[in-house]
């Protein structure tokens, strides 16, 4: 059995300081490929450099909505230069987060649109973060619908009604350990609505450790197997079959088979 962790923050502390051991434990658990996701100029640079030297690791580069107030035109040009690196598989994570409003809504929208423009220009998939901003995020994505090749809503926590909107648009969703949480019945209802062909899995580590190891901190890619097991149960699929499906989805979505 092999799995792909499609959204990890391996350049964050404390994972970065112990990366070789983190990846060794991951391989031993059967999680053998990873997308490490940048959220700021420094993290993007580090993610691309790490992917270049690490077998089975690719980068996604982008600016998290929390950082939107800090992002200049020079930062956007730097993102463009980083995004063409052959080990960069996607743009993101980008999107809207109105829960904390660490950056203004206007700047979040501006930076989101700029990254969607870049994803369309480079024909790369985009990893979208949405928190308490679903209608507006969908409206912005709709304006790029014909130009974006692949969209995944990461750390998916949408309601059944929102899931219907995601399905109608043909987007992918990626589930984290949240789907294993005891009080996440509504999210599990949404998960059952998604055809397995449009699903991927992730840790979003170092955050969101899944049950039954929710007490383990930090989260790390080796623990992805628990999220996979819960989703396999929801779909009524043997674990090995589910793992093959998730791996095939991830390779196709991010174009990993075509990347050096």
Tokens linked to 84: 């063409």
HEC-encoded secondary structure of 155-213: CCCCCHHHHHHHHHHCCEEEECHHHHCCCCHHHHHHHHHCCHHHEEECCCCCCCCCCCC
Please give the pLDDT value at position 257: 82
Closest CA to 57 of 199, 220, 256, 258: 256
Model confidence at 254: pLDDT above 60: yes
What is the radius of gyration, based on Cα positions, of the chain? 17
In this model, does residue 173 exceed pLDDT 70?
yes
Question: Quick one: fold of 3-258?
Answer: TIM Barrel (3.20.20)
Beta-ladder partners of 199 = 173
**What mean pLDDT do residues 73-92 have?**
97
Could you read off the pLDDT of 42-73 as tens digits, one per residue?
999 999 999 999 999 999 999 999 999 999 99
- Token digits of residue 31: 């999680």
Predicted confidence (pLDDT) at residue 220 exceeds the cutoff of 90:
yes
pLDDT band at 81 (very low <50, low <70, confident <90, very high): very high
Helix axes 105-122, 134-142, angle to 10 degrees: 40
- pLDDT attached to residue 198: 98
Q: How far is it, in rounded angstroms, from Cα 72 to Cα 218?
A: 32
Mean pLDDT of 30-44: 97
**Residues 21-39: what's their mean pLDDT?**
98
Domain locations in the chain as residue ranges: 3-258
Residue 258 — very low, low, confident or very high, per pLDDT cuts 50/70/90? Answer: low
Is residue 260 scored above 60 in pLDDT? no
Rounded to the nearest integer, the mean pLDDT of the chain is 97
């Amino acid at each position: 059995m092999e799995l792909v962790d499609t959204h990890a923050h391996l350049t964050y502390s404390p994972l970065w300081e112990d990366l070789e051991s983190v990846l060794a434990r991951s391989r031993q658990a059967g999680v053998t490929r990873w997308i490490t996701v940048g959220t700021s100029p420094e993290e993007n640079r580090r993610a691309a450099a790490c992917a270049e030297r690490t077998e089975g690791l690719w980068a996604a580069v982008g600016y998290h909505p929390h950082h939107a107030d800090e992002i200049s035109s020079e930062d956007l040009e730097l993102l463009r230069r980083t995004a063409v690196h052959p080990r960069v598989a996607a743009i993101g994570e980008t999107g809207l987060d109105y829960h904390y409003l660490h950056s203004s809504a206007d700047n979040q929208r501006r930076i989101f649109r700029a990254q969607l423009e870049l994803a369309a220009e480079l024909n790369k998939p985009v990893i979208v973060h949405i928190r308490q901003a679903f209608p507006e995020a969908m409206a912005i994505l709709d304006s790029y619908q014909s130009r974006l090749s692949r969209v995944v809503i990461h750390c998916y926590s949408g309601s059944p009604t929102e899931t219907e909107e995601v399905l109608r648009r043909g987007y992918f969703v990626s589930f984290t350990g949240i789907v294993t949480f005891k009080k996440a019945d509504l999210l599990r209802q949404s998960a059952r609505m998604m055809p397995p062909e449009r699903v991927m899995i992730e840790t979003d580590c170092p955050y969101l450790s899944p049950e039954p190891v929710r007490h383990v901190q930090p989260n790390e890619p080796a623990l992805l197997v628990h999220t996979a097991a819960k989703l396999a149960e929801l779909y009524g699929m043997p674990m090995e079959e589910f793992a093959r499906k998730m791996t095939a989805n991830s390779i196709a979505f991010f174009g990993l088979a075509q990347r050096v």
